Structure 1
Amino acid sequence: MDGSPDRSQFWAKLTYKDNDRSTGEIVDWHPLLAHSADVAAVTEALLQRTILRDRVASLIGWDDLSDVHVARLSALAALHDAGKVTQGFQNRAFGNKPTSDHVTPAVSLFREDNRLEFFEALGVLSMLDWFPEQNVEEIVYHILLSTWGHHGEPVPPQRPDPVLWETTEVRSPTEGLRRLAGATQRWFPNAFKNEAQPFPALPSLQHAFNGLLTLADWIGSDGSFFPFADTLDAPMERARARAAEAVDALFLDPDGPRSVLSADSGFDQILEQPDWTPYPIQDAVRDVPVHKHGGLAVLESDTGSGKTEAALARYARLFRNGLVDGLYFAVPTRTAATQLHDRVTAAVKRLFPEEQRPPVVQAVPGYIKADDVEATRLPDSFGVRWDEEVQHRGWAAESSKRYLAAPIAVGTVDQVLLSTLQASHAHMRATALLRHFLVVDEVHASDAYMTRLMDRVLDQHLAAGGHALLMSATLGASARVDLTTDDGDVPGQDAAETEDYPLVTHVDATRTDPESVHAASSDASKTVAPTLCDDADAPQNVAQRALDHARNGARVLVIRNLVDDCIKTQQELESLAGDNTLLFGVDGTPAPHHSRFAPDDRQRLDNAVEDTFGPATPNRGVVAVATQTVEQSLDLDADLMITDLCPMDVLLQRIGRLHRHGRDRPDGYATARCVVLTPEERDLAPHISDDGQAFGPHGLGTVYGDLRVLDATWAVLGNDDLAPWQIPEDNRLLVERATHPDALRTVVENEGDDWHRHEQWVLGSQQADRQATGHVTIDRGEPFGAEPFPDDLGTAKTRLGQEDYRVELPHPVDGPFGAAIEELSVSAWQLDDPPETEEATDVKQGSGAFSFQFGGHSFQYDRLGLSQK
């Protein structure tokens, strides 16, 4: 509506001249009834045209939602902005006092003495028979909290301000409620006139509805789909037409892509290799039984056996059969996600014809990418600029809160885990995730905290009838039992060591009676000769050893557990090398590979390391020093690896970068060689403190907190009877020897009192981690709003890698690799307190480096990465 609203009219959204609120000049406005219709129509469309209708029904134990129940949920959605009728909110358009938001006054109605008057005006009393008669007031209270708490988290009722709801000569909030109620009843007559069984008194409905409504509000508030109305007439007719267009444009309705997915779509399309024969384990993943009401599969198979392609083939099968609407592919690191996104995008292009091809979003904060197109964030704006042909395909990529709303997304696992934390927009993430086939790669059991969070996610996903696949090259029997059963018995170590490998274990949503299928992976096998070396404390010796092998023509990968050790080794390497011909770098500039680089430089490092160590690259002697950033997903092929001691499952991941492909090897390197760096003393006990916690060097006891696993891994490495290793044939044996509960118990029993204290600390820490998840996760067994979200989730987010702070440079600065840097990240541990601003100050350019101030600290950024001065 052009101009400014009349003071007696109820507005929902405003546009100011030049999009500058400070001008006070309103040039366009959107009526409250129009916006209410927009969001209600999107809610209706999502329930009518996506699998969310089935998922919500499953969560409340029903086979389906009837059209009446869809209408009732849509009618509730129409009331989501009821608080905008208040004097406080409407005054914001006219500079009058008092002013207020619209959520707090709405939820505070429950504490108004005359609340029944307002609820009757809003039509709530006519909704009472939608819910069980017993405790109906409490049920309605929580369903309205879930309706009004649609801005990302529950809002608890506060002391009401009666002035906000008073009728004046200018306007009547009560009349505004009546208009909204009357319109809602006209829009959804079935909700009020037709009989239907009451919704069950289950909190799961409240939580799922809040997520659904929040997603609908994001879509219904998008001006590209729902421009401001130019008339007050027929708002719902307009809204339903716009909602249909939005659901189509965002590929939320899967019918189009599903209709063109060939019945024989499979590995040929996924891999672009005509007549390619999949490995038996890949066929097994695709073909294990599909449980109609949801199911979980766990794939244990070696690195390089095509787990990614197996997951995509299963997605295609589930999608074609209408059991999922989309895919979220979760991996541990941002590097892995950016690499995998390109592979999935290419496969999706081959699976779907262009006109019905769903977009593939890269769900990595700091990037805005859909398919193979990157967007530019507009300065001083929340908007982004896409190439014209992308249009709405990148909508979900524009905000990390929307990642899970994409039809297909490839991102980090933390985006999934945030759906179960008491964090902003967790409910929207969780409900959007219900549409997807959830694939989680590189699952490990070494972190009880992360494992418990994933278990919470799976509980919700499977309860809704969802489907999930967890994948690992190195999963132990104990972890597999925990994932696939509620209370299963872990086989003894001897039995565990002889279990089949590779293995696919599948189970229905109840997670009872899992079944397993054994099948061969590839016919590739490699011999690995492990060697122990006590030079972990001597970076100069490590650098010299690596250089000696590089001068013999070998490609050498050095992996240190700590960034500081990585940088020290890099510096020694450069000092000893004399020139850069044997050193990894970017366009001739030597550099280590670790996480403390700006996003654009990190991408350059990823590209460079694959260009140096990739399968199609020429043989030459070269050394790269890195951290865990290279142990997963990057397609690297080294002749020799030098690595710090780490848990056996992690070590096998790292060994996956050795002899990854068939190629000519330099003389003396026909057998893959892995040198494992250890402290000089074999005894780890001196690193155990009086309380049992461990604080050893090189990440022993800090990065990897369980010294029992490290000691058991060290023992396996020193067992000459097991060497050389045959990979993947020995994977099961090696993992169980170093991680099985019986093996860890043996370490403690053989080593003395220090180890008993450490075991108690580890077990206590694991139990504390499990309990800690209960304090930071959403309990969907409790009514919505019963537990307000905490003000700070710093510790929880830090453990998910979410507490990095964006640093924006006031102007582009030349970086160490010849390209301008505009932003980078600082970790929470590098600051004393959260920063007050994202902007860096006192930026000073040097030669291939720059310094800046941020959060009260001085930082240096150069070819070695980010460091504190």
Structure 2
Amino acid sequence: MSTDGDGSCGAGAGGNEAGAHRELLDLVLWGKEHGLGTPYPLICHLLDTAAVARALWADMVAPGFREQIAGELGLSVADTGRTVEFWAALHDIGKLTAHFQAQLGLPAGYPPPGHETPGHDRVANLWLASALERLGYPGGRRPLARLIAELLGGHHGRFHRIDPGDLRPAKLPFLGLGSGKWDEQRVATMNVLVEILRPAVPVTTLSRPSAVAVAGLVMLADWLASQTPYIKTRLDDVPRSGTVVELRRFFDGCVSAAPGLLDKAGLTRLRLRSGSFAEEFPAFPPNVLQASLAEQLPSAVTGPGLLMIAAPTGFGKTEAALFSARVLGAAAGRAGLYLALPTTATADQMFTRVARYLARRGVGDVSQALLHGMAWLSPVDEMIAKATSVEEISGDRETRARFPEWMRGRKRGLLAGVGIGTIDQALLAVLPTRHNALRMFALAGKTVVIDEVHAFGPYMRSLLVTLLGWLGELRVPVVLLSATLPAHVAAELAAAYRGSSAPGTLPQPVVPYPGWTYVQRGTPPVSHALPFPAEQRRRLQLELRLVEFGADGQPARLSAVTPEFTALAAQGGCAAVICTTVAQAQQTWGALVAWREALPEPQRPRIVLLHSRFPAWQREQITAEATSVLGRDGARPERLILVATQVIEQSLDLDVDFLVSDLAPIELLLQRAGRLHRHPVRDAARPAWAAAVGNEPRRMVVLTAPEADLTRIPDAWSYVYPAAALIRAERLLRERETGGITIPDDVQEMVDRGNPGDFPAYEDPLLIGFEKAEVERGADVMVEQQFAHNRRIPEPSRLLRLAELSAGDMPPEDHAATRFNADSVRVLPCYEGVDGALRLGGPNGETLPVPDAQGRLSRAELISVMRHTIPVSGHLVLGRGEDHVLPSPWRDIWPLGDLVLLRHSVDEAGQIGTARIGDREFVLDADRGLVEVKAE
């Protein structure tokens, strides 16, 4: 086929007025039928999809991404849009086979199916490779026609591995595609689409990363156009004949209807007001970090880039990131935003803060999604309404943040203009899961902000490196936030983003502490060290305190900190104790409660326990109360001791007068220290025993074994953290036990020495006598990195075929490993009385809701059940059997079928028995959460 003078594909059989009125397509050949009551012609579905793709290109796809694709294809943005909608229209052309059409009865006069019965997506891949080549698509070592065929063959979320020999036209009839009338209808369908859509012929080829993102766009267009309620609205307009004239008239109706589909789904482009930092955040003047970015960043940004910010907790990094993301996004033509947080709790908190920001700075409708495994339990609409009803919100009254119902479907939330969720949702894009291309497309139109980067272990960091490589190739701006960022990690992440385009002569980026560094591909990094505000400069006194270990190997924390807690009881104050494991936190809480009973009533502090093994509703309640009373402006209690695990380590706004922590890696100890005297506004009210002297706060006590004796470090500590990291931390602290740690001067050096890199540092002075521990750390790092290498998709420069994105068994997203050894499952504690009924929350609690006649529960009923669930490590429930699965009909309802049932028997006297799984026994305690009885 030839091209017209304007670069568009020739009209083929329908290229003249007479041909336009000649019936070319057989409308008996259907594309959709389920739920419609009548077959829907295939060409109608293809035109629907083209119209939706046109609307997406115009109203949702980021301008920078449109320009990128156009530049790669050698076309204008307008011509590229017509070409992309043509590709989208071709996605289901593989349904023109005997195998597919015979599902509703083989049409008269068409050859029957042969022995081969390939799926219609695979047929599209096979047939289009040569069909697009005949349109004049560029050839060479990597022919564009084959790439687009592979792209469209993956529209169901999985790309196919095709033998190149099978792409020869002469072989196609023997692979189940059929010949004769089947091939005639495929050719005629393509000709009609060319005539109606007038696509341009690309001049050059498309990069593999861009092809992946375009595949995601096609998947989205297909999803929207395949909605049964929408198709029903189009049934009355189905043409009576397959002429170009009638089909063009039908397409005009598709074009008119498509924007409404996007609006209902919330697929609109994010628009933010430009302005100074003071205009974006009028409630407070910019601090030194925020002022530096506001003054220096805009001139440094000339295109897509990577911004790395390292600063202490409480330094306003969130506001700095939002401002910077807008600046970077505007320069790169990326309108959307995704904020990736380490945990579901921190994502929930950030969601509210961002909703307020959008209410002030957004223009028009803004779709805002909460994204994590349990996000559907959150009352998102209430969270948005509450956040945007605050009096100080003074934005455009027409600004409306919403989380549309369509986006709450699985895999869709990342398509929102603004997403707030866990880092896992972004990392899923670089794992071989179905529809990973849709995630890549969603990210391609955004600026991505990733918080708490220092908390990533080797496995997650390897996945992050792969993700940054893809985001760099897709020209996606990225902001990385960290309280402490080791130099070798900063260099690794920057190199990943720069990719192969970075000249070898460019200097290594160094992120000053506190400060920021901006990196663009092919240009030297720009760094700015920040002068530390005098009022925030301080000397942190850390005291290493030996702790005794009981016969059970558990540390006796109470005896180690009795002097401080006695003073707290007498004078008042708020303290926190951070334990390494849930069992140790429960034990410590119990010891403190017993200690409190011996005190006079007025001196008894409240003892609060917070960890991950509370029912969801209870953990949310405890977290909300803790952040309320220990935050910057909360009504502070007179006496309180918070006992917790690492859940309070990051992103929670907590301020305590005194802090006790188990030994941990140095960067985590410094992070925890950020909870000590966090808000200067609280200083005047601190009790005398914990008050600061000048700028030196009260000590942070770190519990340790004698001289970091490996034989005395609890197994649980070295199971959670590498023993070498604990030894390094202990010796770094001993070096400064007398003089203290000057913040910020000493932080970067301590972080770098505590994190020497992935390769074993055999001659590290900090590990003299413990070289074996460093060898073990190196081995563990290699295991995690290899684990990541075996599971992630290839780096962009190594991707030869899109099929490599779908290699292996493609686990469902719920089982994809975004974290190393994170085999978390959810347990549901239930109480089973003599009547056999299962109750939630206690022996007298509500019974499990009863499914309706169709075996379904309402969303509210599902939420009421899931809010009683608890996440635990998979090893705790090894040996579970049939008795640990909900009975029918509950087990057949998503997501209840995946829950592990913990049956607590209740006898006639009301006595509650333990729940058993294998040789483990559990009990759900109202104060301590889920307790493993043997652990006591």
The count of residues paired between Structure 1 and Structure 2 equals: 795
> Which residue does the alignment assign to 2:396?
none
1:593 counterpart = 2:593: no
For structure 2, the 5+ residue unaligned runs are 1-25, 167-171, 240-248, 385-398, 497-501, 831-836, 847-862, 886-890, 892-896
Decide which of 91, 97, 108 is 1:80's aligned counterpart. Answer: 91
Residues 365 and 401 of structure 2 are in contact (CA less than 8 Å); yes or no, is this contact kept in structure 1?
no
What is the alpha-carbon distance in structure 2 between the residues aligned to residue 358 and residue 412 of structure 1? Answer: 20
Q: Indicate yes or no: 2:542 matched with 1:530.
A: yes
Residue matched to 2:725: 709
Give distance in 2, aligned partners of 1:702 and 1:415: 27
- What SS does the aligned partner of 1:204 have? helix
Q: Secondary structure at the match of 1:350?
A: helix
Higher mean displacement: 457-466 or 301-310: 457-466
Give the superposition deviation at 1:821. 4.8
Q: Which residue of 1 aligns with 2:874?
A: 828
Equivalent positions of 1:117-132 (< 5 A) are: 119=127, 125-132=131-138
Classify the secondary structure of the residue corresponding to 2:527: strand
What is the match of residue 361 of structure 1? 369
Partner Cα separation in structure 2 for residue 817 and residue 639 of structure 1: 40
- The amino acid of 1:326's aligned partner reads G
Aligned to 1:719, which of 709, 732, 735? 735
Distance 2:912 2:624 in 1: 21
1:760 aligned onto 2:787: no
What per-residue deviation string (whole Å, max 9, x for no partner) do you get for residues 488-547 of structure 1? 99999xx99xx853111111034x521211223554344432111222735674245365
Q: Does 1:838 align with 2:865?
A: no
Instruction: Give % identity.
Output: 24
1:797 aligns with 2:817: yes
Task: Judge conservation of contact 2:305–2:328 (CA < 8 Å) in 1.
Answer: no
Does structure 1 residue 145 correspond to structure 2 residue 191?
Answer: no
Aligned to 2:671: 653
In the alignment, the residues of structure 2 paired with residue 856 and residue 174 of structure 1 have an alpha-carbon distance, to the nearest angstrom, of 64
Matches within 5 A, 1:538-549: 541-543=556-558, 545=561, 547-549=565-567
Which runs of structure 2 are paired with 1:241-256 in the superposition (5 Å)? 241-250=256-265, 252-254=267-269
Find out whether 1:450 has 2:463 as its counterpart. no
Q: Any residues of structure 2 matched to 1:325-474 within 5 Å, and which?
A: 325-352=335-362, 356-368=364-376, 372-373=381-382, 393-395=403-405, 397-444=407-454, 447-474=457-484
What is the match of residue 20 of structure 2?
none
- Residue 62 (structure 1) aligns with: 72
> Could you tell me whether the CA contact under 8 Å between 2:515 and 2:527 is conserved in 1?
yes
Structure 2 counterpart of 1:360, which letter? Q
Q: 2:579 aligns with which of 539, 560, 578?
A: 560
Residue in 2 aligned with 1:770?
785
Q: Secondary structure at the match of 1:637?
A: coil
Among 684, 693, 700, the residue aligned to 2:717: 700
- The within-5 A match list for 1:605-616 is 605-615=622-632, 616=634
Shift in Å, 1:472 = 1.0
Whole-angstrom CA distance in 2 between matches of 1:396 and 1:557 = 43
Other structure's SS at 1:555 match: strand
In structure 1, give the amino acid aligned to 2:256. Answer: A
**Distance (Å, rounded) in 1 between the aligned partners of 2:462 and 2:330:** 32
Gaps of 5+ in 1: 1-5, 16-25, 376-388, 688-695
- 1:109-132 Cα distance to aligned partner (Å, 9 max, x none): 499xxx7xxx3xx79525444533
Post-superposition Cα deviations, 1:676-729, rounded to whole Å, max 9, x if no partner, equal 444433244448xxxxxxxx5264332222x33322211122224663334344
Larger of the two Rg values belongs to structure? 2
Q: Which amino acid aligns with 2:444?
A: L
> Partner of 1:239 in structure 2?
254
Equivalents in 2 of 1:392, 1:187: separation in Å?
A: 36
Moved more, 73-82 or 242-251: 242-251
Partner deviation per Cα, 1:626-650 (whole Å, 9 max, x = no partner): 1111111111111111111111111
Change (3 A) 1:785 1:576: same
Query: Match of 1:680, as an amino acid?
Result: A
- C-alpha offsets along residues 121-170 of structure 1, whole Å, 9 cap, x if unaligned? x795254445332357x6534432321222222244599997975699xx
Structure 1 distance, partners of 2:721, 2:567, is: 29
Q: How much has 1:482 moved relative to structure 2?
A: 2.2
Summarize the Cα distance change of 1:77–1:742 in structure 2 as closer, same or farther, 3 Å threshold.
closer
* Aligned equivalent of 1:14: 34
SS in 1 for 2:453: coil
Change (3 A) 1:333 1:126: closer
Secondary structure of the corresponding residue to residue 359 of structure 2: helix
TM superposition shift of 1:576: 2.8
Q: CA deviation at 1:822?
A: 0.6
| Contact 2:98/2:106, CA 8 A, preserved across alignment | no
* Code of the aligned partner of 1:534: L
Q: CA deviation at 1:13?
A: 4.2
Using the alignment, how far apart are the partners of 1:372 and 1:317 within structure 2? 28
- Aligned match for 1:507, one of 514, 519, 526: 519
Root-mean-square deviation (CA, aligned residues, Å) is: 4.4
Residue 744 of structure 1, CA deviation: 8.4
Partner Cα distance (1:592, 1:802) in 2: 23
State whether residues 296 and 506 of structure 1, in contact with CA within 8 Å, keep that contact through their aligned partners in structure 2: yes
Preserved contact between residue 146 and residue 210 of structure 1 (Cα < 8 Å): yes
1:181 equivalent to 2:190? Answer yes
Preserved CA contact (<8 Å) 1:301 1:502: yes
Moved more, 299-308 or 597-606: 597-606
2:660–2:700 Cα contact (<8 Å) kept: yes
Is contact 1:59-1:463 (8 Å) kept? Answer: no
Q: For residues 216 and 164 of structure 1, what CA distance do their matches in structure 2 show?
A: 27
Aligned with residue 641 of structure 1, among 645, 651, 659: 659
Q: Is the 8 A contact 2:74 2:203 kept in 1?
A: no
The equivalences for 1:194-273 within 5 A come to: 195-200=201-206, 202-223=207-228, 227-231=232-236, 232-233=238-239, 234-250=249-265, 252-254=267-269, 258=271, 261-264=272-275, 266-270=277-281, 272-273=282-283
Matched with 1:481 is 491
SS in 1 for 2:429: coil
1:576 is matched with which residue?
595
Secondary structure of 1:410's counterpart equals strand
Structure 1 residues 610 and 196, CA gap change in structure 2 (3 angstroms): closer
1:665 offset after TM fit, Å?
0.2
Separation (CA, whole Å) in 2 of partners of 1:660 and 1:564: 28
For residue 427 of structure 1, report the CA deviation from its aligned partner.
1.3
* TM-score computed with the length of structure 2 as normaliser: 0.75
Q: For 1:678 and 1:226, how far apart are their aligned partners in 2? A: 65
Contact 1:414 1:800 in 2 (8 A): no
Match of 2:301 among 291, 295, 306: 291
Distance 1:209 1:792, change over 3 A: closer
Give the superposition deviation at 1:305: 1.0
CA distance in 1, matches of 2:91, 2:912: 51
Instruction: Note the C-alpha offset of 1:815.
Output: 6.1
Matching residue's letter, 1:508: Q
SS at match of 1:470: strand
| One-letter amino acid of the counterpart of residue 813, structure 1 | L
**Partner AA of 1:514 in structure 2:** P
